[in-house]
Each structure stands twice: as C-alpha cells, then as structure tokens.
Amino acid sequence: MQQLREDKDADRHEFQFSATQFPVGDNQHPVICGTCGETFYADRQMHERTARSIDEGLDNPFECDDCRDETEELAHRDQ
C-alpha cells in the first residue's frame, strides 16, 4: 500500500506545473509562454520538452499559470 501511495504522488507531481518567473531551485532554464510571450524559468525536463516541440515546428507547449487559468476560464464559459 505504501508503494502505491508513493506512485500516485509521483504521478501527480509530474503533472504539477512549476515554472517560476525567476530562476529558483531546479528552475534554471528559460521558457517562453506561448500565449503571452513572457519568459519564465522551468526545470530541465520542461525546458527540453518545450525546445524540442519548437524545433519540430510544433506549437510551443508551454503556457504560464496566468494564461492557463484564463484558457480554462474561457473553456468553462463556452460550455
């Protein structure tokens, strides 16, 4: 049971968005919000995922908390 609970926490942590406006802790890699164009700092994993998508000509997958909140709000309003 202990193992199960740890796995669940790990999954949730991976989904947790943790970019910050300033370099803090693991967040030492600049990423640019695809919606507002502001620069944020993310960990290496997030930075690499964002850079790879842009290299492949895909949309910037990174969206800051503010923009994401707004997107979710808009989605709610449409329903």
CB of residue 71 to Zn ion, shortest distance in Å: 9
Exposed / middle / buried, residue 46 (Cβ in 10 Å: 0-12, 13-18, 19+): buried
First and final C-alpha spacing in the chain: 39
Choices 8-16, 17-25, 43-51, 56-64; region in contact with Zn ion by CB under 5 A: 56-64
Interface residue with Zn ion, options 6, 36, 69, 71 (CB under 5 A): 36
33 binds Zn ion (CB under 5 A): yes
In angstroms, rounded to a whole number, what is the distance separating the alpha carbons of residues 56 and 33?
17
Total residues interacting with Zn ion, rule: CB under 5 A: 5
